[in-house]
A and B are shown apart, each in its own frame.
Chain A
Amino acid sequence: MDFSILTDNFDTYMTGFFNTIKISLIGLVCSFILGAIVAVFRIAPLRILNFIGACFVEFIRNIPLILIAFFFYNGLVAFHINLSGFVAGTMALTIYTASFIAEAIRAGIQSVDKGQMEAARSSGLTYIQTMGYIILPQAIKIVIPPLGNQFLNLVKNSSILGVFAGLDLMYYADSIHEKTFDTFNTYIFVGVFYLVLTIPLSLLVGYLERRLAKTE
């Protein structure tokens, strides 16, 4: 392994690394919020919302991420909307991940025994109160593991931004590669940087899982 690749291009690596963190954090927060909203759409006692939610999920999750990204980057130009690679890529990543998160959250909510909803509602609590105090706190335990998987996927999928001018870790690695022609060493360090991000995230998810299991 040639560490000079790393030391010579350290600043370039770092720029990409921190952009990847930025993309991942934005994607994580936004896809969680969007996913939660879509999940609520899918189970709300209103047919039209169920339909909108189902359309979103089935449409988005059944298209390759790279096509969604190209749509935001190239496709929107037809509508005179020019997005930078960074913005287009982050948006694509967010809505793509949101479709999977919506499914995870929906499954979690629906796996809570329906007697819980009945008991809470029959005591006079509203639908929203019941969701907030009774259903979601129980669903979150079930949702944590699949949610963790989606967040890990999100960090790794962010590498797709390298395909166009996404300014992420992969994009800068490509530029280092073009300069050095050292494929092996250039991308070995990219792998290490991704692991630096994903392994702590993985451990955090495991920790949350164990902690929530204890309060049962």
Chain B
Amino acid sequence: MISFQQVNKHYGDFHVLKNINLEVQQGEVVVIVGPSGSGKSTLLRCINRLETISDGKLVVNGITVNEKKTNINELRKNIGMVFQHFNLYPHKTVLQNITLAPIKVLGVEKSEAEKTAMYYLEKVGIPDKAYSFPSQLSGGQQQRVAIARGLAMKPKLMLFDEPTSALDPEMIGEVLDVMKSLAEEGMTMVVVTHEMGFAREVANRIVFMDEGQIVEEGSPKEFFANPKAERAKLFLSRVLNH
């Protein structure tokens, strides 16, 4: 479903992504971990072309992302994305946040879009907030709305860019629970996170990055129990022992 082939990215002189090769199959949950600045978010953002790649090939849903003739909006409507800072539209209600793209991009009827929105709000556990504005919600609730907003497009793939990093510790659980149930239903997910518990429990595969490279890749079991790369060992000893 996603295929990185020898992908490189530069910001000027800075080599952000180095020779990335990565395959994600349909229904897989891939969690990307690693120290800050290792290129995890950049890698994720390349998938829906929020970042462009410098060379190599990136194919998502059978579409080559980095080709001039690629209709980027066509590609993006099949990819949901959840951001660290939620990025809900502050001037729109929760319901309007969720229905905007289905109505404007997919051409769904308003009543139909609202029905779908309510279904997903139900699913993330806050149907009573449909007519609230984002500023009236807690961080955890906002992030759950953001997930519902992504799902309402009925995407084939969901991207999560540190979805719990900006949350109060008490709210992290409610967001992870939603993501967990999504994974159980077979959604293809790529998640950048520092939540090692979530990674261990939900991921089919862990990708460990450092300095723009994929240093190690494997099942959560082998990665957490027996990391091979020195950098991964060091990382795990630091994040797990506190």
Footprint of B on A, CB under 8 Å?
A: 113, 115-116, 118-126, 129, 133-134, 137-138, 215-216
Contacts and interface: CB of A to CB of B under 8 A. Distances in A.
A122 B91 contact: no
Interface stretch (B81-89, B171-179, B221-229): B81-89
Interface string B208-222: 000000000000000
Nearest to A115: B87
Given A115-B83, A133-B100, A133-B104, A122 B89 contact: no
B83 A124 contact: no
A115 B85 contact: yes
Nearest to B77: A124
Interface of B: 48, 50, 73-74, 76-77, 79-81, 83, 85, 87-91, 100-101, 104-106, 133, 135, 146, 149-150, 153
Contacts of A121: 50, 76
Given A118-B87, A123-B81, A216-B135, 5 more contacts: A118-B50, A119-B88, A124-B105, A125-B104, A134-B89
A122 B135 contact: no
Main DSSP-derived SS at the A contact region: helix
Interface of B: prevailing SS: mixed
B73 A125 contact: yes
A215 B91 contact: yes
Contacts of A119: 81, 83, 87-89, 146
B152 to A, nearest CB: 9
A130 to B, nearest CB: 10
A134 B90 CA distance: 9
The 5 closest A-B pairs by CB, nearest first: A124-B77, A119-B87, A123-B101, A115-B87, A124-B105
Contacts of A116: 87, 89
Nearest to A112: B90
A122 B149 CA distance: 11
B81 to A, nearest CB: 4
Nearest to A117: B87
A191 B153 CA distance: 59
A126 B153 CA distance: 15
Contact of B76 (A113, A124, A129, A138): A124
B154 to A, nearest CB: 12
A123 B83 contact: no
